[in-house]
Amino acid sequence: MFDGGQNKIDEVVDDPVHYKQMQRDRLKKFFIGGKDISGHTIVNVFTRGDEFVVYAIADADEPETFKVYVDTEIESDPQGVMGRLESIKEELADFRSILHKGVHDKSIKHRAANAVSTALRGDPEGAKKIFIKIHEQVSKEYLVVQRGRVLYLSGAFSSVVILVLLALILYSVRNSGFAQNVGVIREFSYAASFSALGGLLSISLNLKSIAFERELQLYAYFVYGVQRIILAALGGVFAYVAVKSGLVLGLVLTSAEPMYAMLAVCIAAGFSETLIPNALQKLESSDLAGR
């Protein structure tokens, strides 16, 4: 018996018929929602045969979720299924090593399971060819996603730089006649720039978890980064207006340092994509309740 390429368990049974029945009973225990021999919950069964099952488990690091269990019909058969599994041991290890990249779709594990099944059914060389194609596909997708992440972050960063520079320029001429005439716009600029910084911080912390559509042109990722910062800046402007008008967080205006408190709210508005929508919903609910 073979579990995930690691654990071998020998069981001595004198009666071959009894052993075969036990072997079948052991394989039947591998079903979605059940437990494998290590006690892990089975979340998917990709494929199975008379002497093996390929499945996925929960509550494990991604490379360890893909499992192969072999239980031979003949109690000792080193040249059979066990030998064929040993022949693709290196390819199986390589496949597990690329799972941490996290750019593959669900079909990748199904294809890997098909490769394992192909090997165990007697065609290890065919299985190796499948693993090579899988590796090439994942590597290509990983490169695209990495480029997308860089462009997404670049679009966001360049937008933040523009907004911050604009705020600094308006702040440097705050005592001029022009700045006094556009006082509200100047304050909006401050709120937008700090919210943009909050948005950039959010992007930096969550970049790996952001889903990228591989079919898009690369420039689209840059545009999405700009879009995210624009939304963050608008959120900051709305937060500024909402606080100034007393609609929400009225305590900000009465704090010891109202300016810094306001900027903190703007950063939070840019950081959280749900803060402003939630505030709008609360305002709408309170308005409806008052009618």
pLDDT digits (tens, 9 = 90+) for 19-76: 788 888 888 899 999 998 888 999 999 999 989 999 999 887 877 889 999 988 776 6
pLDDT digits (tens, 9 = 90+) for 236-280: 888 888 877 766 666 666 666 777 788 888 888 888 866 555 555
160: left (phi over 0), alpha (psi -120 to 50) or beta: alpha
Q: What is the pLDDT of residue 230?
A: 93
**173-187 per-residue burial string, b: 16 or more CB within 10 A, e: under 16:** eeeeeebeeeeeebb
8 Å CB contact between 102 and 62:
yes
Q: What is the pLDDT of residue 161?
A: 96
**Least reliable range by pLDDT among 85-94, 190-199, 236-245:** 236-245
The residues with which 52 forms a beta bridge, in sequence order, are 70
Return the CA Rg of the chain.
Answer: 29
Report the candidate in 73, 74, 76, 11 with the shortest Cα–Cα distance to residue 37: 11
**In percent, how much of the chain has pLDDT > 90?**
30
> For residues 265 and 77, which has the higher predicted lDDT (pLDDT)?
265
Q: What is the pLDDT of residue 185?
A: 84
Q: What is the pLDDT of residue 170?
A: 85
**26-35 per-residue burial string, b: 16 or more CB within 10 A, e: under 16:** bbeebeeeee
**Mean pLDDT of the 215-232 span:** 87
Strands, sheet with 66-70, edge to edge from the N-terminal-most edge strand: 7-8, 2-3, 66-70, 52-57, 42-48
Q: What is the pLDDT of residue 8?
A: 42
> For residues 64 and 178, which has the higher predicted lDDT (pLDDT)?
64
> For residues 16 and 222, which has the higher predicted lDDT (pLDDT)?
222
**Mean pLDDT of the 217-235 span:** 89
Q: What is the 3-state secondary structure (H, E, C) of the chain?
A: CEECCCEECCCCCCCHHHHHHHHHHHHHCCCCCCECCCCCEEEEEEEECCCEEEEEECCCCHHHCEEEEECCCCCCCCCCHHHHHHHCHHHHHHHHHHHHHCCCCCHHHHHHHHHHHHHHCCCHHHHHHHHHHHHHHHHHHHHHHHHHHHHHHHHHHHHHHHHHHHHHHHHHCCCCHHHHHCHHHHHHHHHHHHHHHHHHHHHHHHHHHCCCCCCCCHHHHHHHHHHHHHHHHHHHHHHHHHHHCCCCCHHHHHCCCHHHHHHHHHHHHHHCCCHHHHHHHHHHHHHHHHC
Distance CA(69)–CA(265), nearest Å, equals 54
The rounded mean pLDDT for the chain is 81
8 Å CB contact between 152 and 210:
yes
